[in-house]
Amino acid sequence: MKDQQHQPRDLDGNPVTPGLPMAMLAEVTHRCPLACPYCSNPVDLVRASKEISADDWGRVFRQAADLGVLQVHISGGEPGARKDLAQIVGHARDAGLYVNLITSGIGITRDRLIELDRAGVDHVQLSLQGIRPDMADRISGHPGSWDKKMAFSDWVTEIGFPLTINAVVHRQNMERLPDMIDLAERLGARRIEVATVQFHGWADRNRGALMPTREQAEFARQVVNAGRIRLRGRMVIDYVPADHHAIYPKACMGGWGSTGLNVGPDGTVLPCHAAQTIDWMRFENVQERSLSEIWHLSDSFNAFRGTAWMPEPCRGCDRKTVDFGGCRCQAMALAGDARATDPVCSKSPLHAGVVARAEEDAAAITTDFVYRRMSKGG
Amino acid sequence: MTALIGPDDIPYLPRGVRLQGDRVRGIRVLQAPERAMQLDQIGEAILSELDGARSLDRIVRDLAARYNAPVEQIGGDVRDFLTGLIERRMVFVRDSA
């Protein structure tokens, strides 16, 4: 791999050195009974007929383990929408991977959860959209979702899985964050992941209904800090803050193509789940090439590896190996250029405009959502 | 800050947390919910002692004897290391009673 032809290079032709991935997100389907207006799936959803088989997933998991992946996050859509989910989980465990099941809790019965336990699920992450039936059902666009989730949580406890609660927060529920943390504690979660909506894809269509205010972002920070002290040793709070109100951007994926990869329902391999918003980038598929070749040699993974591709102000910034210039997809969405400094960074020339637009969206009166739905046909 | 583990407490790896070999990197890792932690030799030596039967105090004395090191020093290292993992909910403790 050291010869000229196989030397991995970034999008400017600078040589780069791929490391080894630790974690893989396996989005086994885009089908989902929920319709959350901030869904992280791409706007162009993959249809059931294009999904790769459980045996294909088995091959991908073995290749991933050979490549250094230690953990798989089996997600969707709702992974429970796949009837062969237990088989997929079994293949992941057989490959030696630690299996995290990321689920809405909708569509997985008690019997199926027992089956998934036998297949080797190590840990369950359950998403909650609100702390009461009315809010949870309205945000998820799924009447009855709350009751189903609470029943699912009981089965998780009964079987004994470690539980993480995932709570996406935004303008319409951020003030209830203390109640959400209490709820996670009551449900026996070891951990709660509080994630502020990321504004690309579906969420970008709902900015006016979801963008938190600066005061809310500050409130959430205080709630998280106080909660961490109060719950020390009992429940972990992981927090993804509202980066439109931050000074520096987040280190997306811990650096592009550095530690993680994402395989979609049809076998498309992405450096991050939102990478398809970078419209000029081409992505490869596990049906055509091995995961190792894609990881080491594909143009998409190599595009933003290292720091040589960075423009100013990133190039001369001492944080360039801390946050790697921020999120490439956010740069695409906000600057129209995937290689630009993430405009949420205070050093970006676009920062003032981004903040002004966020304030404007946060002040919007609308609470109506554009729900995530698969278009008809196909 | 209150101590999260006392000498008589029994530390253990709860369900969903396990020691595993990383054959690609040639090291041992602690696998936990959505987190894989690479272990050095000291971390591995400590976690290998968590059998769910022995107390912290007993584990420290056994390690001190095996590595021919002062109990006070080993005790501090083990307590700090385990406290960090208890804070992350990767190690649980129960009373010896």
Across the interface, whether the CB atoms of B20 and A98 are under 8 A apart is answered: yes
The burial of A170, by beta-carbon neighbours within 10 Å (0-12 exposed, 13-18 middle, 19 or more buried), is given as buried
Is the pTM value of this prediction over 0.90? yes
Q: How far is B69 from chain A (nearest CA, A)?
A: 29
Residue A208 pLDDT exceeds 70 = yes
* pLDDT at A212 > cutoff 60: yes
Query: How far is the first Cα of chain B from the last one, in angstroms, to the nearest whole number?
Result: 24
Instruction: Tell if the CB–CB gap between A23 and B86 is shorter than 8 Å.
Output: no
Asked whether the beta carbons of residue A70 and residue B36 sit closer than 8 angstroms, the reply is yes
Q: Is the confidence at residue B32, as pLDDT, over 60?
A: yes
Q: What is the pLDDT of residues A310-329, one digit of tens each?
A: 999 999 999 999 999 999 99
Nearest-CB residue to B34 (from A65, A100, A161): A100
Mapped onto helix, strand or coil, the DSSP state of residue B90 is: coil
Asked if B33's CB is within 8 angstroms of A162's CB, the reply is yes
How is residue A212 written in tokens? 């938190």
Which tokens is B20 given?
Answer: 């595993």
Residue B97 has pLDDT above 90, yes or no: no
At A69 the three-state DSSP class reads coil
Q: E-strand spans in chain A?
A: 23-27, 71-75, 98-103, 123-128, 163-169, 191-196, 236-240, 260-263, 269-270
Find residue A71's DSSP bridge partners. A23, A98
pLDDT bin (cut points 50, 70, 90) of residue A65 is: very high
Nearest CA in chain A to B93: A233
Tens-digit pLDDT profile for residues A213-260: 999 999 999 999 999 999 999 999 999 998 887 899 988 888 999 999
Beta carbons of A233 and B29 less than 8 Å apart: no
Residue in A70, A98, A191 closest to B89 by CB: A191
Q: Which residue has the tokens 């997929």?
A: A88
- Cα dihedral angle (A99, A296, A285, A48), rounded to 10 degrees? 20
Encode pLDDT of A157-190 as tens digits: 999 999 999 999 999 999 999 999 999 999 999 9
Nearest chain A residue (CA) to B85:
A233
Q: Are A246 and A344 in contact (CB under 8 A)?
A: yes
Strand-strand pairing, B35-39 and B27-32: antiparallel
The CA–CA distances, whole Å, from A177 to A166, A223, A289, A365 equal 12, 7, 44, 21
Residues B67-96: pLDDT tens digits? Answer: 999 999 999 999 999 999 999 999 999 987
| CB–CB contact B22 A122 (8 Å) | no
- Does ipTM surpass 0.90 in this model? yes
In A, which residues are within 8 Å of B31 by CB distance? 70-71, 98, 122
Contact residues, B window 23-82, toward A, CB-based 8 Å cutoff:
23-25, 29, 31-36
| A232–B33 CB contact, under 8 Å | no
Any idea what the Cα angle at residue A240 is, between residues A238 and A242, rounded to 5°? 150
Is B4 in the A-facing interface, judged by CB distances under 8 Å? yes
